[in-house]
Amino acid sequence: MSYTAEISRVNPSCFLFLVDQSGSMQDPFGSGEIIKKKADAVADTMNKLLQELVLKCAKSEGIRDYYHVGVIGYGTQVGPAFGGALAGRELVPISEVAESPARLDERTKKIDDGAGGFLEQKVKFPIWFDPIANGGTPMCQAFGRAQTILAAWLAQHADCFPPTVINVTDGESTDGDPTTIANSVKNLTSSDGAVLVFNVHLSSQKSVPVEFPDSDAALVDQYAKMLFGMSSVLPEHLRAAAAQEGYRVSDGTRGFAFNADLVSFIKFLNIGTRPSNLR
């Protein structure tokens, strides 16, 4: 049965994020009441995704390297997007990501005190990425880079839980239709299944956010339809996990989000017992 390999420190899996840093990301982001640019939404999404992945792997004694992580930015150029101590590196163990945010912002969080009230707690929120919006959108080139990186990873980790690519973009590719190259990436396999390609589409359209749809019928934007078509269908285990989290799923449900992040996907990745108290 596919997509059942145990994810562990001796058999880690891999996340590769492709991040649109093009000039069109200067345009406003459609969702939410607060006006912000798509570039801000991208940076927020990436910081939340990385934070959630770090927390997934965090234990009392430190971070367990269940995942290796890469971020490829594409805009004026295509290449590794981490800065600071991780600059220039294509894939790094998640523990190094945890130890190397660019800075820690202080934010206030409201926590239920269990007695009907709330406590305000100051928390440190890690920032790895700040908004960037410059240049064209060489999405085909970005997927090509992903193909090279993942082919090398799979040569070293032939039995891993298949890598996941998450492309965060407004969809307006300037170097051609990325569908074919995305399919090449999806054709890469470990013994446990094919690489998963998910897309997070951040649009200027003020439309209702969509997560894990099984059809593009409700997507009015042409780029959304293209990105939906490029997204992998959720494997059975992940579909079941999404259903447990309250998502309506079917056999055609894909790893796609429109004007929403995919932080929920990270939350329901299975690396062991997850209490159903957490929703």
Query: Using CB under 8 A as the criterion, what x/- string covers residues 81-100 for binding other proteins?
Result: -----------------xx-
d(CA 271, CA 4): 11
Q: Pull the structure tokens for residue 151.
A: 């082919």
Tell me how far, at minimum, the Cβ of 82 lies from other proteins, in Å: 17
CA distance 24 to 2: 38
Closer residue to other proteins in complex, CB, 9/248: 9
Q: Which of the 8 DSSP states describes residue 106? A: E
Cα 241 to Cα 267: distance, rounded to the nearest angstrom: 10
Work out whether 271 is an interface residue with other proteins (CB under 8 A): yes
Reduced DSSP (H G I as helix, E B as strand, rest coil) percent helix, strand, coil of the chain, to 5: 30, 25, 45
What does each C-alpha distance from 22 to 73, 76, 77, 123, 138 come to in angstroms?
A: 9, 7, 9, 31, 8
Residues 58-77 that bind other proteins (CB under 8 A): 58-61, 63
Instruction: List, in order, residues 6 or more apart from 249 with CB less than 8 Å away.
Output: 212, 214, 234, 239, 242, 243
User: Nearest distance from residue 243's CB to other proteins, in Å?
Assistant: 11
As beta bridge partners, residue 83 has none
Q: Which is nearer to other proteins, 105 or 130 (CB)?
A: 105
Verify binding: residue 155, other proteins, rule CB under 8 A: no
- At closest approach, how far in Å is the CB of 145 from other proteins? 29
By beta-carbon proximity to other proteins, the closer residue of 53 and 142 is 53
Q: Which stretch binds other proteins (CB under 8 A): 39-47, 103-111, 179-187, 205-213?
A: 103-111
Provide the minimum distance between the beta carbon of 126 and other proteins in the complex, in angstroms, as a whole number.
6
What residue ranges bind other proteins (CB under 8 A)?
6, 8-10, 51, 54-56, 58-61, 63, 98-99, 101, 104, 109, 111-115, 121, 123-124, 126, 244, 270-278
